[in-house]
Amino acid sequence: MPSTAASICRQLNAPQRRVPDTFALDLKPGHVIGKAEYLFTRIDEKKVDQWLAEFGGSSTAEASAAKPKKEKKSKKEYCEFSPSRKKCEQWLQGAHPGEHERLYGDQAIAQKMAMTSLSEEKEAKEAAKMEKAEQKSEARMARDMEKKKASKVVIKRIERSKRKSVTTVFGLDVFGIDLKSTAKMFASHFACGGSVAKNPQGLDEIVVQGDFTHEIQDIILAKFPKVPRENVEIGAEEKKKKKE
């Protein structure tokens, strides 16, 4: 690599040196280097065959001559998508009749038709499945709507003692209203205790400390328009007297 070594010295702006027995730094601070250049150039692929013929010897030339040339041919499977499909099929039938028969023969056409039928049948099944699911969804929505129409939001005052009472709200969850956040809203609005508890039937209802039946009714109708006015009922439950 004599030319490479000379190029390195030229770029470093330094004379050639022999490899010393001990390491020594010849370039001092402030040294000005030369112009940068490539050490190696890219070999053109066209030069490879030329250099093999010139410097490779007789065995390389014989191997190159004996090597079969690659046949330039189209992708047989792509004839179907070619802009000149007929010409492509004609060429395939003449150059590769076996491949033409495999891809475009009677058996191949029958297989394609069968696959098309299966695909259409699958699409029909998927469409029927989707339609059935949509019908179920519509029926469920209709049932939910009927349930909401028949459901009542019951606001009831319950006496705990002669001076104390609570207000319970039952049925808001049927209309998709979160009970915990609503109980918190009531507690904040009336500055009293509010929570979600189980009623005697084991169902969730809101319990607000104090008698706020009419106020809660007004809040529900104002805050939750999805609850119809006719579905809101107000009741009262007095504390049962102990038997003497």
Is the full-model pTM beyond 0.95? no
Q: How confident is the model at residue 15 (pLDDT cuts 50, 70, 90)?
A: confident
Structure tokens at 227: 């609850």
Q: Average per-residue pLDDT in the chain? A: 79
Is the distance from CB of 40 to CB of 4 less than 8 angstroms? Answer: yes
Which DSSP letter does residue 196 get? E
**Least confident piece of the model among 9-13, 109-113, 138-142, 147-151:** 147-151
Q: What is the DSSP string of 127-159?
A: HHHHHHHHHHHHHHHHHHHHHHHH--EEEEEEE
Is the distance from CB of 185 to CB of 224 less than 8 angstroms? Answer: no
Which run of H or of E encompasses 169? strand 165-170
Q: How confident is the model at residue 209 (pLDDT cuts 50, 70, 90)?
A: very high
Mean pLDDT over 54-65 rounds to 63
Write out pLDDT tens, residues 114-143.
777 667 777 778 878 888 887 888 888 777
| pLDDT in the model for residue 238 | 55
